[in-house]
Structure 1
Amino acid sequence: MEFKGTPGPWTHSDSYGLHETIGGSIHGGGNTLCHVMGKGIWKGKATANAKLIAAAPEILEQLIRLRNKITDYDPDDDDHLHIVDAVINKALGRE
């Protein structure tokens, strides 16, 4: 399982007051990956969204690590591991 996008880590930087709805920018691999807009929402929510996006590569990496660690686990119907697998596949562009 390998992520084909810009490798992490990604960082968040504030918009420094450029616009009241900008939650900041996401940077990775020496480039600006995106600006997080929050039109119609409070700047605090837009910033929280941006910080979550910046953490995405680490979240995905740890989710894959944990899923691989329990690969021999025999799940029952209540474990919802199929949901974990679906989320990983979505993040890796396999959906």
Structure 2
Amino acid sequence: MEEFKGTKGPWLTDRNNVHAGRIATLHHCINNDWVEIWSTDWPDTEEKQEANSMLIAAAPELLEALQEMVAIVKKNSYPCPDKPNSNYARAEAAESVIAKALGK
């Protein structure tokens, strides 16, 4: 599997705030507000910026695919409290990332 060449997480979001050159994207939203996606380790190369933009563009499809995979894994697995690396535990970890993506 190819390694992601962009900025490693976590990425953060803020509304109407400026983060001194660490901004991934800045765009107008409802009522002329803006949302920034930023990281304390934002890229300094065009290659990393391009990789970040491709990830952002693919995000809706990645979210949908992850939601489908989590549903399948949880349907076909059982909780194993003594096995933190079980498929079920990984699906639960993925659910927390899905909740973050949905603003929960």
TM-score in terms of structure 1 length: 0.53
Match of 2:65 in 1: 62
Alignment RMSD: 3.2
The number of equivalent residue pairs is: 65
Q: Greater strand percent: which structure?
A: 1
Alpha-carbon distance in structure 1 between the residues aligned to 2:98 and 2:43: 30
Relative contact order (alpha carbons < 8 A, sep ≥ 6): 1 or 2 greater?
Answer: 1
Written as runs of structure 1 = structure 2, the 5 A alignment for 1:77-88 is: 77-79=84-86, 80-88=90-98
Q: Greater helix percent: which structure?
A: 2
Q: 46-55 or 70-79, which moves further after superposition?
A: 70-79
Q: Structure 1 runs of 4+ off > 6 angstroms? A: none
Match of 1:93 in 2: 103
TM-score in terms of structure 2 length: 0.49
- Which ranges of structure 2 fall in alignment gaps of 5 or more residues? 1-23, 26-34
Identity among equivalent positions (%) equals 33
* C-alpha distance 70-41 of structure 1, shift in aligned 2 (>3 A): same
